Amino acid sequence: MTVIRRGDFVASTLQSMSWRQLAITALGSYIVYKILSPVYAFWKNNRSPLRKLPGPSTGGNFLFGHTLAAFKDESNNLQRGWVRDYGETFVIRGMLGNYQLITTDTRANTHILFASHIYQKPSFERAIITGFLGEGLLSTEGEQHRDQRRILNPAFGFSHIRDMTEIFLDKSALLREVLTNKCIDAGGTARIDVLDWLSKATLDIIGKAGFDYEFDTLNENGAMDELAKAFDEVLRKDASKWDQIRMLVNYQFPVIRAIAPGSSERASEFGKKKMNEIGMRIIQEKKQAILEEMGGGRIEKKAVGGKDLISLLLQANLAADLQPSQRLSDREVLAQIPSFLVAGHETTSNTTTWAMYSLATNPKTQKKLRAELLEVTTENPTLDMLNALPYLDYVTRETLRIHNALGQSTREATQDDIIPLGTPIQDRSGNLVSSIKVNKGDQVHVPIFLVNHSKEIWGPDADEFRPERWENVPSEASTIPGITPNLMTFIGGPRGCIGHRFAVAEIKALLFHMVRGFEFSLAVDPSEVYSKSGGIARPQLRKDNSVQLPIYITPVA
């Protein structure tokens, strides 16, 4: 009797199939996999040890759990309520009912953030980021992320940020000049959308400091730059809610995207292609300039060249002492450009806008900060001079605490693990537990907003904007595992925000010129301003849900 081995049978079967049959089989197998995967996930997640922890049993639905409600929540009120009802460690339900852990326990978050080999960004989230921005620092994990960070770290060192401060201040001064002219044209006081103007300024800043590129968006007489236009197309911030949902679903199901891409996706792909073309041109020009300047010699650590982030990255990537296996490919270098644009433009402009909101609604704080800034005898202070201004530092830190751009950071366990707790909790059965077991595939949320607003850490006035609290920081805040002391805003561990020094210096430079140059107040009632908890916390107006922050500005006499 002839024995047919399984491998031979499969090989012979595949060889006998036409390309069309193979394609149909592959597509069918992929669809079946995608259909069965949620079923398996539902079965697996309902065996999760997280089900024993306290948490809301209502308020969600079978398909999305509490995810949609949390995403549409205003000012994180839903999560505040969960902390009030269930304590600092609890679970919610995600897609298809899977249990997801949320904890403000700083010992638990320290474990999660520093065990980055176990807790990584969920594959779905990484697929979305990669789809929009490429394989840059924001989307990669493991050895690839470590290699990229190793190359980028020197560029974000304090000495380089000190050199870039001149750019921050020059663009901030230009913003002040443009807005002063607006006031003159308006007869003294002008109404502006400060978010829009700060977005222009931060885009110009990251263009110049990031890759020595002039977007020139503060120049109202110029045409929109081609790279800025491409970046807008990639992000599609003006897309309808339906288009946004469709794009997110299609990044989870690439086959659907390939067969029937939507209009927003086609525009986004066109923008991405254009952005990559311009970005690669910038990289090749800078690489060639570095090589020519070195005359074909070895590039040492202290190589000459541009002082922008991409030039510094390329210098480090071409250094003679770097192993070939550790060098980044041109594609990886290219992916840093949109990553810089998102991290150095979107988040910083929104954070600075919220600083203006807080100062506009707290006139005494605004006046106190202005008095300190007016004591500076130069319009172009150094970074050391900015950092020596205590109240500017307090206002900046309090803004980062109260108005963090991202409400949470999600991680997925790549293996079974036990998370230690600093404060024991009671499970659903009333048992006291001092650690939490998680299974491979379980998701945990590091609740940036909740930690920054924790009354256990910051006291009963934790939700109030009070810069003076930084004169005497509570001892409990020292346990927060942030890369910036006493703050969760930039998170911590191996994936802590590499650009935290850049962001803080940029915010201080913008506030220096805006507060020194203008008196300002809200142009709408404070109750009309809110933000959504999902994504970047942008200010919105209730009357039409538009993303803006209108204020009145008057030049300081």
State the Cα–Cα distance between residues 300 and 286, nearest whole angstrom: 17
pLDDT at 171 exceeding the cut of 70 = yes
DSSP codes, 45-82: HTT-GGGGS---SSS-BTTTBTHHHHHH-BTTHHHHHH
- What pLDDT, on a 0 to 100 scale, did the predictor assign at position 306? 78
Stretch 295-321: mean pLDDT, rounded? 75
CA atoms within 13 A on the CB side of 195: 18
- Contact yes or no for 288/280 (Cβ under 8 A): no
How far is the first Cα of the chain from the last one, in angstroms, to the nearest whole number?
Answer: 102
| Residue 484: closest CA among 305, 375, 351 | 351
Q: Which of 23-37, 160-174, 371-385 has the lowest mean pLDDT?
A: 23-37
Percent of the chain surpassing pLDDT 70: 83
- What pLDDT, on a 0 to 100 scale, did the predictor assign at position 70? 80
Stretch 205-228: mean pLDDT, rounded? 88
pLDDT at 61 exceeding the cut of 90 = no
Stretch 543-555: mean pLDDT, rounded? 95
Position 91 confidence tier, pLDDT thresholds 50, 70, 90: very high
Q: Is 103 exposed, middle or buried (0-12, 13-18, 19+ CB in 10 A)?
A: buried
- What pLDDT, on a 0 to 100 scale, did the predictor assign at position 11? 53
Position 6 confidence tier, pLDDT thresholds 50, 70, 90: very low
- Contact yes or no for 538/404 (Cβ under 8 A): no
CB atoms closer than 10 angstroms to residue 384: 9
Residues with Cβ within 8 Å of 450's Cβ and at least 6 positions away in sequence, in order, are: 76, 79, 80, 83, 102, 104, 408
Q: Which of 88-97, 236-245, 345-354 has the lowest mean pLDDT?
A: 236-245
Residues with Cβ within 8 Å of 472's Cβ and at least 6 positions away in sequence, in order, are: none
Give CA separation, 84 vs 109, 171, 242, in Å. Answer: 19, 44, 34
Stretch 78-100: mean pLDDT, rounded? 90
Give pLDDT tens digits for 443-489.
999 999 999 999 999 999 999 999 999 999 999 999 999 999 999 99
- What pLDDT, on a 0 to 100 scale, did the predictor assign at position 1? 47
Give pLDDT tens digits for 262-280.
655 666 777 888 888 999 9
Higher pLDDT, 354 or 326: 354
pLDDT at 18 exceeding the cut of 80 = no
Question: Does the reported pTM lie above 0.95?
Answer: no
- What pLDDT, on a 0 to 100 scale, did the predictor assign at position 535? 77
Q: Which of 27-36, 216-225, 314-323 has the lowest mean pLDDT?
A: 27-36
Is 497 one of the annotated binding-site residues? yes
Stretch 62-68: mean pLDDT, rounded? 77
Q: Which of 38-47, 215-224, 369-378 has the highest mean pLDDT?
A: 369-378
Boundaries of every domain in the chain? 6-45, 134-408+447-555
Stretch 167-191: mean pLDDT, rounded? 97
Secondary structure tally for the chain: helices H, strands E? 22, 12
Give CA separation, 520 vs 193, 368, 373, in Å. Answer: 12, 14, 15
Give pLDDT tens digits for 486-529.
999 999 999 999 999 999 999 999 999 999 999 999 999 999 99
- What pLDDT, on a 0 to 100 scale, did the predictor assign at position 38? 61
CA atoms within 13 A on the CB side of 180: 15
pLDDT at 409 exceeding the cut of 60 = yes
Position 96 confidence tier, pLDDT thresholds 50, 70, 90: confident
Domain covering 134-408+447-555, topology: Cytochrome p450 (1.10.630)
Higher pLDDT, 78 or 27: 78
